[in-house]
Structure 1
Amino acid sequence: MTRFIGSALARMTIASALFVSATIAAAQSNSPAGLWQTIDDNTGQAKALVQIIDDGGGNLSGKIIQGLGEHDKPERRCTACTDSRKDQLIKGMTIITGMKPSGSDWEGGQILDPESGKLYKCKMRLEDGGQKLVVRGYIGVALLGRSQTWVRQQ
Structure 2
Amino acid sequence: MNKSIIVILMLLMTVSASAQSIFGKWKTIDDETGEEKSVVEIYEDNGKVYGKIIDIFDPEKRDLPCKPCNGEDYNKPVLGLKIIKDMEPFGETYKKGTIMNPEDGKVYDCRLKLDDDPNRLQVRGYIAFFYRTQYWVRIDS
Asked if TM exceeds 0.5, the reply is: yes
Query: What is the match of residue 27 of structure 1?
Result: 18
Query: What is the match of residue 13 of structure 1?
Result: none
* Gap change, CA 1:76 and 1:25, over 3 Å in 2: farther
Matched, 1:39 2:32: no
Alpha-carbon distance, 1:55 to partner: 2.1
- Residues 85-105 of structure 1: CA distance to partner in whole angstroms, max 9, x if unpaired? 111100001000111111211
Query: What is the match of residue 52 of structure 2?
Result: 63
Structure having the higher Rg: 1
The answer to which structure has the higher helix fraction is 1
State which of 120, 130, 147 in structure 1 corresponds to 2:108. Answer: 120
Query: What is the match of residue 148 of structure 1?
Result: 134
Query: What is the match of residue 79 of structure 2?
Result: 91
Unpaired segments of 5 or more residues in structure 2? Answer: 1-10
The answer to which structure has the higher strand fraction is 2
Alpha-carbon distance, 1:109 to partner: 0.2
CA distance in structure 2 between the partners assigned to 1:55 and 1:110 by the alignment: 15
- Say what the alpha-carbon RMSD is for the aligned residues: 2.0
In structure 1, give the amino acid aligned to 2:54. Answer: I
CA distance in structure 1 between the partners assigned to 2:29 and 2:136 by the alignment: 6
Classify the secondary structure of the residue corresponding to 1:91: coil
In structure 1, give the amino acid aligned to 2:139. Answer: Q
Unpaired segments of 5 or more residues in structure 1? Answer: 1-18
CA distance in structure 2 between the partners assigned to 1:55 and 1:86 by the alignment: 22
* Gap change, CA 1:45 and 1:71, over 3 Å in 2: farther
Aligned residue pair count: 130
